[in-house]
Chains A and B, each alone.
Chain A
Amino acid sequence: MRSLLLFFVFLLTDACVDPLKVPNLAVEQGLVVDGAITDQPGPYTVQLFSAQSLDKDLDKRQYVGGAAVTISDDHGHTVTLTENATGTYQTDAIQGVVGHTYQLGITLEDGRQYESTPVLLEPAGTVDRVFFQFQENSINQNDLTKPQDAFAVYVDATGTPGASNLFRWRWKGIFHYIAFPELRTRGVGRTEIPDPPLCSGWIYTDSTGLDQVGPCECCDCWAPQYSTDALVSENDFINEMEFKTVRVAQIPIDKRLFYEKYHIEVEQMSVSQDIYAFWKLVKAQQQSASDIFQPAVVKIKGTIRCTSDPDEKAYGIFSASAVTKSSVFIRRLDIPKAIPQIDTLKTDCRTIYPGATNQRPPFW
Chain B
Amino acid sequence: MKKLLLFCVFVVTPAWIFAQDPPVGRPDMPSMTLTGIKDGQPLADVLIELEKSHPVRFFFAPEWLEPYTADSQYNGKSLRYMLDDLLRASDIRYSYMFGYAVIFIRDPQRTLEHEARVQTAIAKKKTIESRELGDRRKYKPGSRAAITGNVKDESTRHPMVGVIVLVNDVETAVTDEKGNYIINVTTGENMIHFKSVNFRERVIDAKVYSPATLDIVLEEAPTVLDEVVISEQAVLNRRISQTSLRVTDMKRAPTFLGEVDLIKQVQNQPGVTTVGEVAQGFNVRGGGVDQNLVLYDGVPVFNTSHALGFFTAFNADAVSQVSFYKGGIPAEFGGRVSSVLDIKSKEGPLDKWHGGGGIGIMSSYLTAGGPVKDDTSSVIASVRTSYSDWVLKTIKSNYQDVQNASLSFYDGSLKYIHKLTNRSKLTLSGYTSYDRFSLTNDTLYTSRNIAASIHYDRTFTERLFGTLSVSFGKYTYGTSDDDPTQAYDLSYGITYPSVKLDFNYEGEHKLSFGAHHTWYDFAPGSLKPTDPESTVRNIDMRPERSSESALYFSDAFYWREKFLLEAGLRASFFNRVGDGVTYHYAEGLPRLRQNITDSTVYDKGESMKTYVGLEPRVSLRYTLNAFASIKLGYNRMYQYMHLISNTAAVTPVDIWQSSNTYFKPQIADQISLGYYRTIQENMYEAYVEGFYKVTQNVLDFRDGASLILNKNLETTLLPGDAEAYGVEVSASKIKGRLQGSLSYTYSRSWRTVDGASEEEKINDGNRYPSNYDQPHVVQLGWRYGLSRRIFFSGTFVYHTGRPMSLPIAGYSVDGVPVMTFSDRNKYRIPDYHRLDLALIIEGTHKRKKMLDGTWVISFYNAYGRKNAYAVFFQDNGKGFYNPYKLSVVGTIVPSVTYSFKF
Q: Please give the residue numbers on chain A whose beta carbons come within 8 Å of chain B beta carbons, in ascending order.
A: 1-2, 4-13, 15-20, 22, 25-30, 32, 34, 36, 49-59, 61, 133, 135, 137-138, 141-144, 148, 152, 154, 170, 226-230, 236-238, 244-245, 247, 273, 280-285, 288-300, 302, 315-317
* Stretch touching chain A among B27-35, B167-175, B810-818: B810-818
With beta carbons under 8 angstroms apart, the residue of B808, B813, B827, B869 that contacts A28 is B808
Taking CB atoms, residues of chain B closer than 8 Å to A316 are: 811, 813
Contact A10 B888 (CB under 8 A): yes
Taking CB atoms, residues of chain A closer than 8 Å to B95 are: none
Q: List 16 A-B contacts (CB under 8 A).
A: A8-B392, A9-B395, A11-B886, A12-B397, A13-B402, A17-B884, A19-B885, A20-B883, A20-B885, A25-B827, A54-B881, A143-B398, A238-B537, A280-B704, A290-B874, A300-B819
With contacts A55-B880, A296-B821 known, what are 5 further pairs, Cβ within 8 A? A12-B399, A27-B809, A51-B811, A228-B816, A300-B818
Taking CB atoms, residues of chain A closer than 8 Å to B878 are: 56-59
Q: A17-B885, A57-B878, A281-B703 are in contact. Are A52 and B809 (CB under 8 A)?
A: yes
A34 — nearest CB in chain B belongs to which residue? B813
Taking CB atoms, residues of chain B closer than 8 Å to A294 are: 646-647
- A36 CA to B814 CA in the complex, in Å? 9
Q: Is the interface of B mostly helix, strand, loop or mixed?
A: loop
B527 — nearest CB in chain A belongs to which residue? A237
Taking CB atoms, residues of chain A closer than 8 Å to B391 are: 5, 8
Contact A315 B820 (CB under 8 A): yes
- A25 CA to B805 CA in the complex, in Å? 11
B895 — nearest CB in chain A belongs to which residue? A4
Contact A142 B400 (CB under 8 A): yes
- A4 CA to B391 CA in the complex, in Å? 10
- A185 CA to B884 CA in the complex, in Å? 41
A91 CB to closest chain B CB (Å) equals 17
- A7 CA to B860 CA in the complex, in Å? 11
- A226 CA to B893 CA in the complex, in Å? 46
With beta carbons under 8 angstroms apart, the residue of A8, A245, A288, A298 that contacts B535 is A245
- A133 CA to B485 CA in the complex, in Å? 9
- A142 CA to B827 CA in the complex, in Å? 29
Contact B821 A299 (CB under 8 A): yes
- In the complex, how many residue pairs between chain A and chain B have their CB atoms under 8 Å apart? 245
Contact B815 A297 (CB under 8 A): no
Q: A280-B704, A295-B648 are in contact. Are A54 and B872 (CB under 8 A)?
A: no
Question: What 3 A-B pairs have minimum CB-CB distances, sorted nearest first?
Answer: A58-B879, A284-B704, A289-B873
B594 — nearest CB in chain A belongs to which residue? A273
Contact B806 A293 (CB under 8 A): no
Taking CB atoms, residues of chain B closer than 8 Å to A293 are: 647, 651, 870
Contact A292 B535 (CB under 8 A): no
Taking CB atoms, residues of chain A closer than 8 Å to B819 are: 54, 285, 289, 296, 300
Contact B872 A15 (CB under 8 A): no
Contact B809 A53 (CB under 8 A): yes
Contact B397 A9 (CB under 8 A): yes
Tell me which residues from 271 to 294 in chain B have a Cβ below 8 Å from any Cβ of chain A: 278
Instruction: Say yes or no for B440: interface residue by CB 8 A criterion.
Output: yes
Instruction: Say yes or no for B868: interface residue by CB 8 A criterion.
Output: yes
A59 — nearest CB in chain B belongs to which residue? B879
Contact A20 B829 (CB under 8 A): yes
Q: A20-B883, A133-B485 are in contact. Are A32 and B811 (CB under 8 A)?
A: yes
Taking CB atoms, residues of chain A closer than 8 Å to B400 are: 137, 141-142, 144, 148
Contact A2 B394 (CB under 8 A): yes
A297 — nearest CB in chain B belongs to which residue? B805
A295 CB to closest chain B CB (Å) equals 6
Contact A18 B887 (CB under 8 A): yes
Tell me which residues from 770 to 810 in chain B have a Cβ below 8 Å from any Cβ of chain A: 804-810
Instruction: Say yes or no for B401: interface residue by CB 8 A criterion.
Output: yes
Taking CB atoms, residues of chain A closer than 8 Å to B805 are: 295-297, 299
Taking CB atoms, residues of chain B closer than 8 Å to A299 are: 703, 805, 820-821, 824
Instruction: Say yes or no for B890: interface residue by CB 8 A criterion.
Output: yes
Q: A228-B815, A289-B873 are in contact. Are A281 and B704 (CB under 8 A)?
A: yes
Interface string of B709-753 (1 = CB under 8 A from A): 111100000000000000000000000000000000000000000
Tell me which residues from 388 to 441 in chain B have a Cβ below 8 Å from any Cβ of chain A: 391-392, 394-402, 439-440
